[in-house]
Amino acid sequence: MLAEIITIGDELLYGQAIDTNSVYLGERLTSLGIEVKYKSTVGDDVKLIVDGITLAMKRSDLVITTGGLGPTPDDVSKKAICDHFGRKLVLYEDILRKVESWYAKKGVEMPAIVRSQALLPEGTKPLSNDWGTAPGIFIEVKGKLFFALPGVPIEMERIFDSGIVPILKDRIPGGKVTAFRKIRTAGISEARLHEKLSSLLEETGDIGIAFLPTSSGVDLRLTIKSNSPTEARRKLDRFEKRIREKVDRHIYGTAEESLEKAVGDLLRRKKLTVAVAESCTGGLLGKTITNISGSSDYFLGGVISYSDELKMKLLGVPDEVLESEGAVSEKCALSMAEGVKKLTGADYGISITGIAGPTGGTVDKPVGLVYIGIAGDKGSSARKYVFTKERNFNRELSAQTALNLLRLELTQS
């Protein structure tokens, strides 16, 4: 079964929104053993959408569109679907009642324009949407499957999982299954990781391996086509074990596990706490740690000491350090980490001080220069990094690097 994905919306073409829908659909379809061969994006134009659907239905067995199913004038996908399949819009009374009920439960009067959500191409099998007002659309013609989904990601994902997956599982022909394994690493560059795994890359056999850099490190994606899920899992387990033998120190998780979750799990398991002292990141490290529900078990709090005065008053950074070394220095990072540890009573204090940019750099201290300090019961240390010239990326890299340094400290203690 060959599939094609069409995302619809001017905002996607103008760069005003990021297309996450096709990423989700591509991954989910592939995991079901369905091969995605084409992906395209078209604007909110009836003719362009019709052309896209027509081409897709000619060359693919399964076509999924997302977007353009809302009630406003710029939502023209249903008109295009009717034009392609030669059908008219008809009122589905059960859908209308459901939409009315959706508004009633919220205690909000339904705008008259929303009534159009119950108008669907004739012969459509509606796909229930419990997270919004636009139902999904399912049309089958001569053994080919066409689905149209809302563009709102949460609605699209839920309708796909609850409405489309059961249909596809009944129709997917027997054969090989495709399985994935994501291994997440931090503190090592893509080139260095490739170098360490070079001998394995010559022995992958039927397993494909891709290197995917992220802001927190490099993900390794393993892909295999096998005769059964059990066989695929067994082969992936064996290969992952060989990878871990070479770079286990840098691996912090698998699948979608985040670095902050991995660090949080370590802190909770060891019954340890952490506090942060931030300058150039402006609270981003604390925010990242508290992305995890239950982080209050191990995160005590932090200090955003942007000014030198607060570094001295709240964290106890010596005036002579700021005078002789400056706020962006190893000694300042050490003092900040030790100061927040003492101030909060945490087991670990982490500090970040640097020049995020794009202004403020000098020849001796360029934009992207960052010092990260860690203070624990066994002593303190600080490291120097020089990142990029882009402000937000420097802040993100600094927070993720600090988290990974804490992870390494915890795994060695």
What average pLDDT does the segment 53-64 reach?
97
The answer to whether residue 11 scores a pLDDT higher than 80 is yes
Q: What is the CATH number of domain 2-171?
A: 3.40.980.10
The confidence score (pLDDT) of residue 59 equals 96
Give every CB contact of residue 222 below 8 A, 6+ residues apart in sequence: 180, 181, 182, 183, 207, 208, 209, 236, 239, 240
Residue 113 CB: number of other CB atoms within 10 A?
11
Confidence of residue 225 (pLDDT cuts 50, 70, 90): confident
Q: What is the CATH number of domain 259-412?
A: 3.90.950.20
Instruction: Tell me the per-residue pLDDT of 231-281, one tens digit each, with 9 for 90 and over.
Output: 999 999 999 999 999 999 999 999 889 999 999 999 999 999 999 999 999
Give every CB contact of residue 122 below 8 A, 6+ residues apart in sequence: 82, 87, 88, 89, 90
Confidence of residue 173 (pLDDT cuts 50, 70, 90): low
CATH 3.30.70.2860 fits 177-254, yes or no: yes
CA distance 239 to 329: 43
What are 301's strand-pairing partners?
275
What are 75's strand-pairing partners?
none
**Main-chain dihedrals φ then ψ at residue 43, nearest 5 degrees:** -80, 180
Respond yes or no on whether the N-terminal peptide bond of residue 166 is cis (omega within 30° of 0): no
The confidence score (pLDDT) of residue 175 equals 64
The confidence score (pLDDT) of residue 413 equals 75
The confidence score (pLDDT) of residue 22 equals 97
Question: If you compute the radius of gyration of the chain from its CA atoms, what whole number of angstroms results?
Answer: 27
Q: Which pair of structure tokens corresponds to residue 124?
A: 């459509």
* Domain spans of the chain, in order of start: 2-171, 177-254, 259-412
74 DSSP 8-state letter? T
Residue 333 CB: number of other CB atoms within 10 A?
31
Instruction: Tell me the per-residue pLDDT of 312-354, one tens digit each, with 9 for 90 and over.
Output: 999 999 999 999 999 999 999 999 999 999 999 999 999 999 9
What average pLDDT does the segment 102-126 reach?
94
The answer to whether residue 196 scores a pLDDT higher than 70 is yes
| pTM (2 d.p.) | 0.76
